[in-house]
A and B are shown apart, each in its own frame.
Chain A
Amino acid sequence: MNPFAYTSPRNTTDASALAVPNGDFALPVLKSGGMDLLDRMKEGLERPDLVVDLTRIDDPTLDAIDAGRIGGRVTLAMVAESEELRKSAPILGAASGSAATPQVRNVATVAGNLLQETRCWYWRMSQFDCLRKTGDDCPAREGDHRFHVIFQDGPCLMVHPSNLAPALFVLDGEVEVVGGDRTRIPIRDLYADPAVDWRSASVLSPAEIITGIRFKSAPNSAFIALKQKQSFDWPMVSGYAVLDLDGDVIKSARTCAGAVAPRPHPLPQVDAALAGLSIHDEARIRAACEISVDGADPLPGTAYKMTLLPVAIRRAVAAAAHSAGTARGGDA
């Protein structure tokens, strides 16, 4: 790590001010848990001259959990353990509890999880330049891209790393921000269109700080990660589903796919096909989930994800229907 200064502001106003490049510090950076930031600093991808620590801000709302809101500094472990959330939106605990390792989840925050950088292995190695850095090419395209996209929504082939972001997509979530001229950003607008901007981790300005997330309650919601390895692995593909049920009938559905596109990938066509189906109508639910791959354009090395995606969505729908929302991983 390069030399840097460190500061722990006590309020978000100071933190915002410090996070903007200025005369004293040209490369300030915000740090919550640091699980992603330190990784990048160790690899030399990030060389801040000032680390602005957000863990000592004096504001209990940053740590609060309610039925429809989670403070930005809440850790993934706390999300996973929350009884409140298990009732209101079990998908959040399931997605958080399946991410990373217990040690990481005890430190990683909700805000940091949404804003973490890609895990593309080319990007993470400092010797490779690429489209997402300063270059004109994507070495993953001709290279080993087994963990990359099937939806080529932009020239960069990374998949979005966050377990949590797609959950917020299906919950119609918003992020609360301070430091700019807006206070809420719908989650669907938090990430730039990868066809236009393939370099930014989000649309936030340097001064903007995420202080919380808000979401609709969804007792029938579930998350499924299909992992190669069950103890700590990134999902090969993940499926997210929220169902609005009338008895056994799906009044409306919200589904989203993870680890297949540069952003969380909502599946409106699946949602439409699920609407009106009985949760016991396995054949038609299966057919509805099959179309989750519509529009996909897999790479040679990601063709297997075409098989996995409909399965992940179908299993998420099934788990949501039976409000077993905390199905952990694919070991079901």
Chain B
Amino acid sequence: MSQPPRDLRAINAGQSVADHATRLDGLEKATGAARYGRDQIKKDMLWVRLIRCPWGRASLDSLDRDAALATPGVVEVVVSGDAGEYHGDSIGYVVARNRRALERGLQALDATWTRLDCKTGILDDEKARAPMGDPSAETAKAIDDAAFTFEATYSTPVQTHSSLETHGLMIEPDGENSIVHASTQGTFVVADQIGRFLGKPRSKIIIDCEHVGGGFGSKFQIGKEGAAGGLAAKTSGEAVYSFCDREEEHLDTGNRPSLLCKVRLGHDADGTIRGARFETFGGTGVSRRGGGARVPSGRFEFGTLDSPNHQDIQFNAGGPRAMRAPGCPQGAFVEELLIDEIAHRCGLDPLALRRRLDDSERRQRMYDVAADLIGWENRADTGSQTGTMRTGYGIGTCHWGKGRAPAKIEVVVHPDGHLEVRTGTQDIGTGQRTAMAALVAARIGVPLANISVAIGNSMLPAGPASGGSVCTPSTAPAAMAAADLARERILAGVAEREKLDADRLTIDDGVIMEGGRKVIRWEDACRRLSEPVSVTGEFDGQASAHWGEGSSEGVQAARVEVDCETGQIFVRDVIAIQSCGLPLVRKTAESQIMGGVIQGTSYALFEEQVLDPGTGAVLNANFENYKILGSEDCPRIVPVLWRDDQTGVRALGEPPVVPTAAAIANAVFNAIGRPVRDLPLRPDRVLAALAEPMAERVVAAAPRNADLENRA
């Protein structure tokens, strides 16, 4: 055998449809040739920016519209409100010939505001401060019957998506039509939403989002910036550029809501949980909904449950939007840390307790591999270390549903043998275009080099938005169907001409074979076509032949070091085992997993939106104080693609972000012997935890690593 390619993670060899395929637009991205919506800049376009409330709650006193309009370059000032309910709330917009004019117009507007009382977090609400409610009679009995009761409160912060390309769009008139270059994760959502503002029927609107600079759940709607852009384009008939700046992006384009979770449960000496009550409070800013958290997740046995008891709590801040696995990382943090706390109380290895409480057969096997790869046998008992630097090991889990949506994929076979895969859905960085190409190539039996992909345009066949991790699972069956149709068409032609049985023909690496005999090269077979052949594969969004078997489950294990003098946490290793049915492209699949782990690590350690308690102004709407993990904080990550014999393509975008913060919080608990129940795990919080007594134990510890010692 030849040398394995240098980019191969040996553990994932042979796990995917295309182990060696590289992202089709990789070079475009690495050379700056890829053009994003935000790069659609013309010298003569109009710039739009919203007029925003600078405080948590305020009423507008005055505003000098005339001065703004008198500013050179300002063309329009639209004021439609006189109060703001959060920092970043908008009351209109300004349109100008260039960005400096826009800034100066906003400045000249000189809006003055009266600040009003505001709420700045979940705990500003009495409901959240109230003592826990009584469990249902049944749960109360289960808790009482248990040997021990345990109560704790956990919290997580508001996290912002922080896509590097901000929200917005550029609208360009093109004869009758408008071309909308949008930064979106829903090509067809934009197409449906923008018309109302542009004053154009759907048929005259073309959406282009060939490249999108991240979304993570926040780009499913055109937003206020898009609406204002549409209106300005309608009024002016000119090209319009309406993108948020970084501050606006932090303030008003959604977030992962904060969570407060109170738990009361009863457990026995062996860690069995007899009954539990969970109360959750989601911090939804000014939104009435969207703060739900998946806790408990259903992965573990909690006995007689009194749940959900959820309330969304309003305060004066921008509302949430779906963010990569909405509700899940925060829920997993609570649930997994809770389990480790129970394990510690009972003197159990948390992995052993998980094995008992978790009935997923696949995760059971994943536990073994995760423990092996992280070196679980080196884990010291929780709280047993004394030095300055203490090492901790922790584990977290995830699972994901089987969401799906209708999708169409067109495949065009050209007479030169080249194949074009056409899909209107977008590639927000997940590798969608590469996955489709690799799947079609493998399914037909031609090299990937024969395939190109047209993607991210509303003139192409409709496909789903990138949400709920349904995009790849839903487009894959459509792509398989299209590939099969294309293959059959070409083989039928060959069979007819060569008088062969089409059913006996196969295609191997671009060569059509009958048994072991070469019949004709794919290119030469296609050359007989008088014109390109187009076929369309469809997935009905329900069951279809290509849906297959599979599920997304995962286990992650983290190793951290905690500096107990400073409270700093260094995440050293994360093992991330993930099943996603049939993995399509190894490299992009690994990237999804690593990206999830990195976002999860960043969430665990650094990220939180900070509101000024007095005024509700967001104090860190920037990348200086809204801290995101960088190169020197990045752990070593081992992404493990777990295939078993699954055949259907399943979710991969969201699940890997779920367990990471939980695994890290558990590792920190293991290292320092006290739980830190609030994210992010800031140094000040670690130091405060260290000043507390060691976490309580209600049952003496079982002899550590007993079987290990026996073996030795």
Contacts and interface: CB of A to CB of B under 8 A. Distances in A.
Q: Is there a direct interface between A and B, measured as CB atoms under 8 Å apart in the complex?
A: yes
Interface of A: 1-3, 44, 119, 121-122, 125, 127-128, 139, 142-144, 146, 226-234, 236, 303-304, 307-308, 311, 330-331
Nearest to B563: A330
Contact of B566 (A1, A44, A142, A226): A226
A236 B683 contact: yes
A186 B488 CA distance: 85
Interface stretch (B420-428, B444-452, B521-529, B627-635): B627-635
B570 A331 contact: yes
Main secondary structure of the interface of B (DSSP, over half): loop
Contacts, number: 86
Contacts of A127: 54-55, 617
B688 A304 contact: yes
B565 A44 contact: no
A304 B683 CA distance: 8
B469 interface: no
B615 A1 contact: no
B605 A125 contact: no
Nearest to A308: B566
Nearest to B103: A1
Interface in B608-626: 610-615, 617, 619-620, 624-625
Given A142-B614, A143-B614, A228 B683 contact: yes
A232 B627 CA distance: 9
Given A231-B631, A304-B688, A143 B566 contact: no
B55 A311 contact: no
B415 to A, nearest CB: 50
Given A304-B688, A308-B566, 6 more contacts: A2-B107, A128-B617, A226-B566, A229-B629, A231-B632, A331-B632
Contact of A228 (B617, B632, B682): B682
B619 A125 contact: yes
Contact of A311 (B107, B566, B614, B631): B566
B566 A229 contact: no
B124 interface: no
B620 A229 contact: no
Contacts of B620: 121
Contacts of A231: 629-633
Given A304-B688, A307-B687, A144 B627 contact: no
A142 B615 CA distance: 11
The residue among B567, B570, B629, B631 with the most chain A CB atoms within 10 A of its own CB is: B567
Contacts of A330: 563, 566, 568
B294 interface: no
Contacts of A125: 617, 619
B606 interface: yes
A304 B690 CA distance: 12
A253 B605 CA distance: 36
B597 to A, nearest CB: 16
B566 A232 contact: no
A1 B100 CA distance: 7
A255 B617 CA distance: 37
A329 to B, nearest CB: 8
- Ranked nearest first, the 9 interchain pairs of A and B with the lowest CB-CB distance are A231-B630, A304-B684, A231-B632, A127-B54, A230-B632, A121-B619, A311-B565, A143-B612, A230-B633
Contacts of B688: 304
B269 to A, nearest CB: 37
Nearest to A306: B687
Nearest to A312: B566
Contact of A144 (B103, B619, B683): B619
Given A1-B103, A228-B627, A304-B688, A144 B610 contact: yes
Contacts of B565: 307, 311
B104 interface: yes
Contacts of B613: 142-144
B387 to A, nearest CB: 14
B617 A229 contact: no
A125 B624 CA distance: 13
Contact of A229 (B567, B605, B614, B619): B605
A122 B55 CA distance: 13
A235 to B, nearest CB: 11
A3 B633 CA distance: 40
12 contacts: A1-B103, A3-B104, A119-B624, A125-B619, A144-B619, A228-B605, A228-B683, A230-B632, A232-B630, A304-B684, A307-B565, A331-B570
A22 B141 CA distance: 83
A229 B683 contact: no
Contacts of B568: 226-228, 330-331
A144 B611 CA distance: 8
A303 B615 CA distance: 23
